[in-house]
Structures are given as C-alpha cells and as structure tokens.
Structure 1
C-alpha cells in the first residue's frame, strides 16, 4: 500500500501524470504507426526510414538532460505544461510537409514530447515516501503503453495527414486540459540552486545506470518503432497483423513495469537487474538465429533441413524479453532513488537521456546492418551484444563494490580475514 500523509492528492497526481505521460508518449512515437505510409509516400530506403523513425527519439533523448536540470529550478507541473504547448504547433504543421527533410524536421520538433517522462517522474516522486518509489515509478512508467494509440490509430489514418494532425492535436489538448485542471500543485520542491547536473556526469555509477537503461528502455523503444516493419518484411504480414503482434510486445512490457517496481522495492533493484539481463540474453540467443537451410549429405541422397523461428515462437520470445525489460526499466529508476534520492530529476534526466539515445541509435543501426548483411534477425544479434556488454559491466561493478567494502572493513582489522568470502 502506498503510504503518504496526503494520499488523496498523491493518488490523483499519479493517475493524472500517468495518463498525460501516455498521451505524450503516443505523440512521441507517432511515426511508428506510419512506417509503410512514409515508405510509400516518400519512396524511402530502409536506412532513410530508420533515420526518420529516430528523429523524434533523438530530440527526446537530448532534451532529457536539460529537462533534468530545469526541474531543479522550476516546478515540474509548469514545465510539463510548457512542453505540451511547445509540441502542439508541430502537429498542426504536419499536413503541410511533403518532403523527407520536412518530416525529419517536424519529427525533431514533436520529439520534445519525450521530455514528459523526466518532468512527470520528478513530479510524481515528490508525493511518495522512499519505500514506495519503485512501485510508484513503475506505475507511472505504464504510460509507455500510450504508444498503443499510435500503433492502433495512426494506420487507420493512412495518407490523411490533415486527419492525423487534427486527431493528435486534439489528444494532446485533452492531455493539457487534464494536466492543468486536475494535477495537484505539489509542494515547494524544487528549491533554486539545489544541485548542479555536471558533477553527476563525472560519476561512473551514473554512466553504468545509463548503460543499463540504454538496453532496457532504448531497445524497447527501438523495437517499438521497428517491429511493424520487421513483421511485414520478415514474415510477410499485413499492416494490421504486424500492428497486433507489436501491441502484444508493447502492452505486456509496459504494464508489467508496475510489478517490476514492486519487485525492486521488495527484493532489491540489483537482483532484479541480474534476472532481467539473464532472461533477455537467453531470449535474444534464439531471436538472433536467422532462417537457415542445412544440407546433410546422406548415404543415398542429400537431406535438406530448414531451421527457422515461426511468427508465433518469435512473438513469444519477444514478449518474454519485453516483460524482462519492463522489470528492468522500473529497477533502474529504483536504483536512482536508492543512490540519489534528492536528485531524481537531474540523475533521472541523464539516465533517461542515455536510454532514449538507444531508441534513437538502435533503429538506425538496425537499418544499416540489415542492408549490409541482408537478413533481418541481425538486429537481434546487435541487441544480444548490447545485453552481454551490460552484464559484463554489472559483474565488474558488483565485484568492485564488494572489494571496496572488504578493504574498508579490513582497514580496521589489519587485513587478517580472507578476501575469498567477499568475491562475487
């Protein structure tokens, strides 16, 4: 149970903030539901499509750093309001674009919606005690499911850019109304001059958490915008079928985040992270396997054997990994709360920026490697490498911390105990 002295306001803050974040997330991922329309209208190559999908994510990633700085000096509610007002003209301008670079520029503009996570999570965290932060952040993170609006609604508005503009502008205005009218004002946090964001850039722990978030959020975001095209090209599905399968991944990975936050509160964020990476890397091992034909030279004749992952098994493995990533997104922010309880805004902004950069760079790398190697599962090979690197970094991080704890303890005991018991 969430315990707070003003639980009615706290619950209202969490509900409204999550809904508004979901709306902003839908705007941020608008292009994900329009991949085939963009390819057809602009005659895009795979690499050009990847760049266009990455444009909004790039702005959202880069802006999370100044957003983390701004929440130290201005109230998150005011900042979220300003951000939505700034995004609105980009959606209104959308029907007047007819070139690749025009769509790219407008994508960069409405990518400001990605700042909503930093503002929202800082806003919500001030209403709840430390012991509930994992669950609260996980519940707020369910707003990732807002991308379902883009995956369901945008394909129905194909080639009707005026309608896309009006619908998304209307949805964003609804979010703005809910935010201004219903979100509680909050307390006097933040205070001017509370912290500076620069010292955190010098801390290796922040970079490690950013690396973890690069995988658990960055790859989730990259797959979200990449999967509709992947399903259609790799498995020959229709737009509706590809959207339905992508929704399974999106919704399950988003909703489970709340449970991941509870697990992080109860069992520890680091333990949850270990489980996340083990499940992910095992799923990616099979997802990485491309369709392969073996020819076995038999005694009387050759035997041909086809090994491939069908769409059902692919979706199952993808969903398992998505569930793990949902746990991981919650546990990383619980780690931030554990180490930096008074600097969730700046540190969360930095870590969120690293994660969103994954959502920007990975689709481009997916497109590049797919064109270079000629098969689609190479994108999952890339993710396997990222996950393996994260596990190595986490292992040496744990080992280093245990060794430092050992040295501090032994400095008072003349180093008479064995080091073996402190090794991971």
Structure 2
C-alpha cells in the first residue's frame, strides 16, 4: 500500500504556475488564496488562527513540525487554513510538550497539504505576481489533467469581496471571567478571535463577553459593558458593512473601542476611510512598525491582506464625522497604515497582533493602554455621577 507521504501532489496557481511535490496531511483537493507566512516559529498558532480561513499558507521556514502539536497552543477550536505548503516536514517530533505530530493534526482535520517543493521560489513568485487563487491536488485529484486542475482553481472564490466572519465566529455568546480583581468588562465581537487575545484581556481584570458576529449595536450596548473590542478575522473589510454600522453606532454612544487587525480596518471604514487589497500582504512575526508617538520601532506579528488608506504624516478629519484622526503607527517596510487613533473620542486600533502567542511581545502594552482607557471612563462616570448628586442636593436651596 502506498503511504500518504509517497503520493504525488501538485500545487497549481491561477496564473498556470505549477509545483510538484509530495502529499502532506490529508489527501484530496483544496482551493484557496495562496499566501506566505515568514514566521520561523509558531506554526501551530498560524494554523489555528481564524484569520487564515480560505487561504493556502506557504511556510517560508524550510523545516516545519519539529516540536509537534499540543492542545495548549491552539489559538481556536480548529485548524482554519484551506491548505498547507512546506518544504521539509519534520520526520520526528522532539519536544516535551508535544502530544502528537503536526501531520496527525492535518490528517485528522482534513487539511490537504503539499511538501517537497521549493517554497523560496514560490514565495518570490507570490511577491512578484501577488497573492492569487490556488489549489493543491493529491491522490486521485493529482491525476486530473493540467487544464482541469487550472479550471478548478480559476473557478474558486477570490478573497476580494468575501465575508468570512460568519464561518469563523462563535455561534453562542460566552464569557471569560476576569483574572484576579475585576476592573471592568468588555464586549469582544468575535470576527475570528484568538484565545491569546481573550487571555490578555481577562488577565487585566476584565470580564470578557465574547459575542457572535451577527449581534446588533443594541445587543452590545444592552450588556452595560465598559468598552468594545473588535478582533482579528479573515475576509475583505468592504464586505463587512454590518460590522461597520455596529461600530459607528457604538462610537456615537460613547463606548470606548480597541480593535486589532480586521478591527483596525473596520475602524477605518467606520471613520469613513477606504480600504484596499495589498499585493501579497503582511504575514509573519518579524514585521517592523514605527510608533509615531514614542518613536519606538516594534517588531510585530501580522496576518492581513487588506489595509486602510490614510495619510501617515498629518492629522485629518474623519469623513464620517467622528472628529480628528491620526495614523499612530505605520510599516517601515512599505508605509502601510498600522494603527489609527481618534483624537476626539476614545477609540484606537492597530493592524498587527499585540497578543502574539508565538511572539514577539513588543506591542503587548496596547492592552494596558486599553485598560487605562476603561479606567479613565470609570473616572469620568464617577465624576459625572458626583456632579449630578451635587446638583440635586443644591437644587432645593436654589429653589428656596
């Protein structure tokens, strides 16, 4: 009997480029957008990041699977990538935390992959030609003619205009309780949230109310939470008009806001800014970003194919009427907007992942900034309540 590892597989790009290798993981056919991730570590976090839904992920690191997989490092309930491309899968697992091999997880969850191809050449091709639709074919699917395979790839869904939040969001709301002394509460709109994000919020004394993506603004405001958080997630922000409308309504209600990744793009759209698709995106854990406020360079974890269009060197007025806005962070590789800060309301966002389970942790302070915003809101409410009480107490005397 032929083993899975010995079966032929082929990766087909929509421009007709083909790479022949060996089947890795499940055998069959899968379609998606081919993108590359530059992280040297953290492959399990990459695979279980819901932001990768609909994408065939190419790992630029040449050797993958050395440390196996475990339950603790899962960032969500399952693997989300549409397909997986590696150069050399590890033949053995060597780590005291490993519970199984990466190949075991790929097979168990039906993730079709390919190994033994020149991932460096593939990455350079995507950098030149841009992210594009692709397909992996192995087993009987590898026996289809080249024209049949290419036709299937070109018939696949493009990422532009695609809304994937309903596929990755929680079905039912749930709460992650605050760790230690409770400071406040936050509603998290799950557009593809990662476990590490929830852990970071809860560890700062926040009750975290995780909500399905289809909730309304009245649902959020009815919870009586201190702030709103939009998570990372897959898809085109132009296809998430419902979430933009929800955010605009809660911003007008004065609810503080923090968003990461997809949440940054949605804040941009809520403010009236445009978004656009990057040629090949930013994916990996080595992306340099400048914090304009401090002048500090942060090495960040990123996973996005879309970005906000805004001037990085000037304060501007929100086209949607939310006051003054500034770009707080930008990429040192290509000047892409990496953060937005609203100057006339309590709202900010970043394009990268400050939770970064596999590291780096340069941007983890952003959760503390969010917590400070919530504490400030508490102080304003307390002052407002004190003023109202004081006013009520003097009214009889004034009337007398």
* TM-score, normalised via structure 2 length: 0.28
* TM-score, normalised via structure 1 length: 0.27
Higher fraction of strand: 2
Higher fraction of helix: 1
Q: Relative contact order: is structure 1 or structure 2 higher (C-alpha 8 Å, sep ≥ 6)? A: 1
